[in-house]
Chain A
Amino acid sequence: MSLLNPGTLYLLFLSGVVLLLFFLRARERRREVSALFLWEGLKGDPQSRATRIRQQIDWLLVLQLLALAALVFALAEPVRRVSVSRLSELAIVIDGSASMQTSVDEETTRYDLAIAEALELLERYPSTPTTLIQLSEQPRILASPDMSHEDIANTLQASAPTFFADGSIDDLSSIMSVFGGLASHERVVLLSDHALEAAPTTLAVRIVTGGENRALSAFTVRENLSGPGATAFVEVSNHTDEYQDTRIRISDGVNQTSISILLNPRETTQYVVPFPTSRGTEFSASLSPTDDFPLDDIRYFAVDRPLDLRVRWAGTANRYLKAALEAVTPVTLVGGDDEADLTILYDVAEFRNVEGNVLLIHAGMDDYVELGPDARLSGSIDVLQPQSPLLAGVDASSFRFTALPAATDLAGGSILLEQDRHPLLIVWEEAERTVAFVGPDLMTTNLPIVIDFPVLIRNLVTRLTRLPAASTYTWNHAGGAVALDGLGTIGELLDADDRPLALPAGASVFHPEKPGIYRLVTDRATYPIAVNVSPEESRDPVPASSVEAVDRSQLLDTTLQPLWPWLALLGLLLLLAEGVRYAGFEWPPHWPSWTARLRAVSFISRRAR
């Protein structure tokens, strides 16, 4: 026997209220008598424990508690399995998610086991109209009830598991609505490696399990902000009962790095893997040796731009500044119309306002700064904001200037350095961008040859670009929706094997079918898109014993029969008995007349209401 609605058993706590009321009412047993002299001097009964308990039993209380228990159990909707020999309609739901590709031995996967179970069901009920569903995040109807069992069996054997995530009960209900819904089938059998969350008990679950697994359960890469290369973050889960000696290999397609680790049984561990030699944008992490579920032994990650700093340069070239930039990070100079992370204006008196982050060196720009004639300097440099991160590690007293342009701040920036009231370093922090101004012409100063110059440039670039990878990253998984909007006009989409995929006109999402690196070519750039198998597929296979699964004989020969009407009837009868006893009627009754009987019935019905 099982309960369809076990949560209602919490209502049994109401018995506490009944008991509380009972004890409040019957705390003292008291009896009034006409004459106490008849009782005085009597020897009270020595009470045995059983006698005392028996005498203290309040049958009204017992009946109330029994009635409450019966009604609560009725609400819990108990059912029991009863044998059936023929079904009116059968639905077989076979789990087609990626985890069903797990090998249980050298030649068999969990999906193969599920197919064998399904074929056995078809053979057991040869004349029963059968629906065949492959359940995953993208559920499919493999066979409809009007197909013959032979065709269904062929379809079943020709089917293969997908790379998709698990389907939910909502997915199943949705696709079953085509055939009248879950309830319209006398039996629905799910063949899967896990129980379906929030599934009704009427759904018979047959667990197929087997295979051992280690998994890369998380993988992401962030570029290093303070130096070259990147850092990989990896999470590894050992779903076996044994220690696993494993190697993690991180690759960007050109360079690679690896670490060796020992995984504890049933443990999940995170690792930070430095990858200083990386210059790529498409990464993969792999575990070796592989296991029974290889799909989670390799994971993909892609950043949507190169790690190189894209710089648009305007004005005079300066090799000292370029060298200082390249000491900070790899630099790619881009053309005037290309997307850039930073625009550098060097030695330009007037320049139109440009979008994005701008570094002005001995240059003016509309709305921000206007350059005047060079002024002769006599004093020393004043550090107005020594705690500014832009001046971290910079000793400004070592800088020497022969002349400084008289710059006029037009936008109310923050002056960090000045000399003789002439601004030397100004920063404008805005919501969308940052603009920095360095006053002197580098070639008239000692800046290019002091050791603090690249430090100052690193600070400026770090502040000006500020484009680190997101601290959290949502995995695109096979079968899920991948957003394409905001990346420009779409040219073509290439799958993991570099084959073009057909996209409907105006499509803003696509559903990748396999894991790997996809490439979206737009009018702006080519964006790599990493697609993985859902990490849910890497979880432990659910052992059959932990699921309220039925064994094969029950699965084939039984159906559920509700018991709650009998319990509800019992509860009502107990309530009636309690009412009769409360009214003090004896059995068999000695009512004097039909009028009295009618009064009694009226009393009981009032009490029942």
Chain B
Amino acid sequence: MERFVDEAFLERLANLRFIVKGRRKGHLSGTHVSPRSGISLEFADYRQYAPGDDFRYIDWNIYGRLDRMLVKTFVHETDLPVYLLVDLSGSMQLGSPSKARYAARLSAALAYLGLRSLDRVGLYPYSEDLASLVPPRHGMAHFGRILRALSEIDPGGGTSFDTAVRGFLNRTKESGLVFVISDFMTSESCQDAFARLLHRGDEVVVIQILHPEEIAPTPSGTTRLVDVETGRRLTLTIGKRALAEYDARLRELRSGLREFLTERGIPYFLAPTDLPIERLLHETFRTGGVLQ
């Protein structure tokens, strides 16, 4: 199994947690405030202390016996289904490291954050349709299954986000926090798909992964361009003028997506593959109000 993350990497994510805007109707214990009322503080589980946790919940008796700092969680903190919709179409295999690998590492980090918060995390890779999925479960044992699934991903084929979302909604009955990780390098409109997600009540976060060479290609003279998803070819002399036109088109594509999402309150993040994932989580996601 390919190793995406190591302990040091996870350690540095320990003090992060998702920010959920509304009260969730979770049915298992978690760290999110439940919309249900009248439930007293009832002990549910222990977890490792992380800087930022409320000191009041540290169990000092356990610390005295085991020399480990654990904090108590309570049943009135409900869990949150976290869905990871990861694009595994052919275009994600470009770059070194590839966009797919970057997406896999990011997914692993988000899954860890979710499971650590006692949430259920599910993995839904897609290309032209949903691929083999990992249904949402909670507990750190589930993290291994997600990592195994991520290590076995093999990008290829075309992209149909709309079909994938339809399949996703059919297979999941409960709304939750949906991370959509894709390069969105498609001419197909994604608006209907996002509208369906919002309609069900999902909180959606969109992360667009692009390779730096896609954002700012270098001149290469007369070049044969090959579409990795369709195999179509085009010969073009790539100089300053062609690159300027390309840049304008890409900006238009990105701004169209960002404006649509922003209008609907969906956070949108651009993640170039040369941006370290820790910086993405600690700085970009925090600034964007996804993590705290």
A interface with B by C-beta (< 8 Å):
28-40, 42-47, 51-52, 55-56, 592
Contacts and interface: CB of A to CB of B under 8 A. Distances in A.
B239 A45 contact: yes
Nearest to B222: A29
B236 A42 contact: yes
Interface in B180-204: 183, 185-187
Interface in B220-242: 220-230, 232, 234, 236-242
B123 to A, nearest CB: 22
B271 to A, nearest CB: 15
A595 B78 CA distance: 41
B185 A56 contact: no
Contact of A33 (B226, B240, B253): B226
Contacts, number: 89
B266 interface: no
A28 B276 CA distance: 33
B136 to A, nearest CB: 29
A35 B220 contact: no
A69 B57 CA distance: 72
Contacts of A56: 221
A30 B221 CA distance: 10
9 contacts: A29-B224, A30-B224, A32-B225, A32-B227, A33-B227, A36-B230, A38-B250, A44-B222, A45-B238
A28 B185 CA distance: 26
Given A29-B223, A31-B224, A42 B246 contact: yes
A39 B246 CA distance: 6
B246 A44 contact: no
Contacts of A40: 234
Contacts of B42: none
Contact of B185 (A29, A35, A43, A45): A35
B234 A39 contact: yes
Interface in B236-260: 236-242, 245-246, 249-250, 253
B228 A43 contact: no
Contact of B221 (A29, A32, A36, A37): A29
A36 B232 contact: yes
B91 interface: yes
A34 B228 contact: yes
A25 to B, nearest CB: 15
Main secondary structure of the interface of B (DSSP, over half): mixed
Contacts of B236: 39, 42, 44
Contact of A35 (B187, B221, B242): B187
Nearest to A52: B221
Contacts of B135: none
A240 B22 CA distance: 113
B187 A37 contact: yes
A55 B222 CA distance: 9
A44 B235 CA distance: 9
Contact of B238 (A38, A44, A46): A44
A43 B241 contact: yes
Contacts of A35: 91, 185-187, 227, 229
B239 A47 contact: yes
Contacts of A43: 241-242, 245
A44 B239 CA distance: 7
Contact of B225 (A28, A31, A45, A46): A31
B174 interface: no
B183 A42 contact: no
Contacts of B183: 34
A47 B226 CA distance: 22
B283 interface: no
Nearest to B92: A34
Contacts of B241: 43, 45
B240 A32 contact: no
Nearest to B210: A34
A35 B249 CA distance: 12
Contacts of B28: none
Given A32-B226, A36-B230, 8 more contacts: A30-B226, A33-B94, A34-B91, A36-B232, A39-B225, A45-B239, A47-B237, A47-B239
B228 A33 contact: yes
Given A35-B186, A42-B236, A28 B224 contact: yes
Given A29-B220, A55-B220, A36 B227 contact: yes
B91 A45 contact: no
A592 B186 CA distance: 32
B214 interface: yes
A31 to B, nearest CB: 5
B97 interface: no
